[in-house]
Structure 1
Amino acid sequence: MTDQTIIRFEGVTKQFDHNPPILKDVSFEIEKGKFYTLLGPSGCGKTTILRLVAGFNEPSAGKIYFNNKVINNVPANKRQVNTVFQDYALFPHLNVFENIAFGLRIKKLSNSEITNKVREALRFVNLAGFENREINEMSGGQRQRVAIARAIVNEPQVLLLDEPLSALDLKLRTEMQYELRELQRRLGITFIFVTHDQEEALAMSDEIFVINNGKIEQSGTPTDIYDEPINRFVAEFIGESNIVSGTMIRDYLVEFAGKRFSCVDKGFHENEPVEIVIRPEDLEITTPVLGQLQVQVDSQLFRGVHYEICCNDQDGNEWLVHSTKKANVGDKIGLHFDPEAIHVMRLGETEEEFDNRLEAYGEEKHE
């Protein structure tokens, strides 16, 4: 724990009645002023974490700390957090001003204080002048910004966002990603954002927690998680991946698809069974003679910025390629990749073991 830690989960489990636990012995830390994303499939436990932070649920076991104080039994209205829900939960009978002012009126602030705070919140979300607009006259993006203004007007230390972009169309969703990220930078408060959209998580976050089946599979920066997935679940959930079985012959030498290749990984046992990840954009199309792998093209789709090409090698492995070069179905082509493009995953490795191995590799590289 550091001086910047604002939220800490310590062995937190959440179980309803006699059902299987939704969260299982979860521990992590959240620092002040960063944008965090809880990423995972439906039912993995990410919204449960958000509700535990907000105080809507209590943990079945473990402790939750806020500014180094246990808050397990602190009611929601006493916590310095606010939540933006998936459906925004705006009051349809109140205009924009009164929606944002609702919490301030409960606190019995003076009318002048309320007016100043509401106008400042509207300015932050680029809705200045919309005070008298009715909610049913607002677009989806505008409603979302009203919900955010209502949350930040109470000056929380942490803002919780439960899939607030899921109801928006693709173009507006992309625009709001930029707006939310910029808003977080301007406010300087901690955002905890829940989504199942991996592209959204990669675009917006300082740090990502990848959650599966009630446990944190991996945490780190978007670059770390994309480039160095800890296991098959993370590799498949974050972006698109080619994953094949292989053998780590020794440090910096791996075998897969019937051939041996130089790589940058170390710290494995000799001849240890492993899994290999190569991202589609790291595969370069070349001639069969120049390629490290020889494959046959099975299908091709044009995706606008690249072609998506599906291939098979002679061992039956499927390879997905993202390339600006076009290939023809039925052609035999070569695939070239650098040693840095090969990521080797140890079977059953924990995140702590994974981090220690990467740290040892980084120290050796620095020397």
Structure 2
Amino acid sequence: MTNTIIEFKNVTKQYDNDSPVLDHVSFEIERGKFYTLLGPSGCGKTTILRLIAGFTEASVGDIYFDGKKMNDVPANKRQVNTVFQDYALFPHLNVFENVAFGLRIKKLKESVIKQKVQEALTFVNLAGYENREIREMSGGQRQRVAIARAIVNEPEVILLDEPLSALDLKLRTEMQYELRELQRRLGITFIFVTHDQEEALAMSDEIFVLNRGKIQQSGTPIDIYDEPINRFVADFIGESNIVEGRMIEDYLVEFVGGRFECVDQGLNPNEAVEIVIRPEDLEITTKERGKLKVKVDSQLFRGVHYEISCYDEDQNEWLVHSTKKANVGDEIGLYFDPEAIHVMRFGESEADFDRRLEAYDHGDAHEQ
């Protein structure tokens, strides 16, 4: 049996004469993993969820579930359940009846319903809450009720449409850990939608980064963060310093007037490139030791580090995350290791980008 449970083949979704919400998207989802669809508002991530759930139909292309085409399969016949942003719980029903709702529609025996509901509530740490009214539940508890209602039907895939967005920061962080642990214990596929980069990095086995109706890049959180494929991904995932440069040869790149060793290869000699260095990979040091010489423009204390904004002689801004303090107006040096430099191709056409993205999805461009 193949490990692929969901597959999109050249799927486009377009409403009337508007631009496509999804534009010829292809990808595969494997069993038992935690996937995150990440991107800004309007990028197409919720549309993917709705297509999987059967709430909307593809304009072009095919969607497969367990190798079987599911374009025309109605939502209630699909082995998926959705946890919505507002949880969509019934306020007039208690916790037990909310979780039991789908089982009653299936007309299961009362003894079976009771057993399954109790098992689901125990799984989400809500045993003993069966008779509690929904209005008496906290935000985190309501989310657990919604998840219990989803898992009680024993789906093969659970879809989660920004279910943490209404929670405060502390509870949201706690629920990230709970959701991840729940997915591991269940061993089923979770597909999670968010626009929060930190949330995606913390929870996912694999992330799909979307923009303008296309998957810009897919990979593990480490791959996405350390090896962004283009400026959008580098900018959207975390914070980045991005400057223009030139690839001299393999393992040697030029930017801001200097030549620096790097670990990238496979680009053309003298090719125009963009350089990415993450703020936490820059070390504050003396001007003599620094590979870059900059002047401190501002400094903010962020609790675990200082966020320091600097400018070099060419007025390129450099953002630094450091436990060291630097005073506004100081002239300092910035040091970085070759591994801190990530090189991206610069100035390619849309067609070139699409071809390279296709190659990347097949694993051919990972070493760029």
For 1:113 and 1:121, the matched residues in 2 are separated by 12
Q: Is the 8 A contact 1:258 1:315 kept in 2?
A: no
Residue 180 of structure 1: aligned partner: 179
Counting only pairs closer than 5 Å after superposition, residues 138-217 of structure 1 correspond to structure 2 as: 138-217=137-216
Structure 1 residue 353: Cα displacement: 4.0
* 1:149 alignment partner, SS class: helix
1:352 CA drift (Å):
3.9
Counterpart of 2:320 in structure 1 is 321
For 2:273 and 2:357, locate their aligned partners in 1 and report how far apart those are by CA, in whole Å: 16
Q: Which runs of 5+ in 2 are unaligned?
A: none
State the distance in 2 between where 1:44 and 1:30 align. 19
SS in 1 for 2:239: coil
Q: 2:364 aligns with which of 356, 359, 365?
A: 356
Unaligned runs of 5+ residues in structure 1 are: 362-367
Q: Report what 1:364 is aligned to.
A: none
Q: Find the residue that maps to 2:244 and give its secondary structure.
A: strand
Once residues 365 and 195 of structure 2 are traced to their aligned partners in structure 1, the CA distance between those partners, rounded to angstroms, is 29
Residue 263 of structure 1: how far off its partner (Å): 0.5
Equivalent AA in structure 1 for residue 147 of structure 2: I
Taking the aligned partners of 1:340 and 1:73, their CA distance within structure 2 comes to: 49
Contact 1:32 1:190 in 2 (8 A): yes
CA distance in 1, matches of 2:262, 2:92: 62
Identity of aligned residues (%): 79
Distance 2:333 2:186 in 1: 50
**Structure 2 partner of 1:44:** 43
SS of the residue corresponding to residue 71 of structure 2 reads coil
The letter for the 2-side match of 1:337 is F
Aligned length: 359
What TM-score comes out, normalization by structure 2 length? 0.96
CA distance in 1, matches of 2:161, 2:155: 16
Letter in 2 for 1:301: L
The CA deviation string for residues 178-232 of structure 1, in whole angstroms up to 9 with x for no partner, is 0000000000000000000000000000000000010000000000000000000
Which residue of structure 2 lines up, in the alignment, with residue 114 of structure 1?
113
| Structure 2 counterparts to residues 1-367 of structure 1, below 5 A | 3-347=2-346, 348=348, 349=353, 350-354=356-360, 355-359=363-367
Q: Secondary structure at the match of 2:343?
A: strand
Residue 366 of structure 2 aligns to a residue whose secondary structure is: helix
Q: Displacement, 1:357?
A: 3.6
Quote the Cα distance in structure 2 between the aligned partners of 1:259 and 1:233: 25
CA distance in 1, matches of 2:32, 2:359: 28
Cα pair 1:267 1:357 within 8 Å, conserved: no
Q: Secondary structure at the match of 2:364?
A: helix
Q: Quick one: distance in 2 between partners of 1:48 and 1:183?
A: 25
Structure 2: how far apart are the matches of 1:215 and 1:352? 11
CA-based RMSD: 1.0
Deviations 1:248-275 (A, max 9, x none): 0111110001110011111111100000
Paired letter, 1:102: F
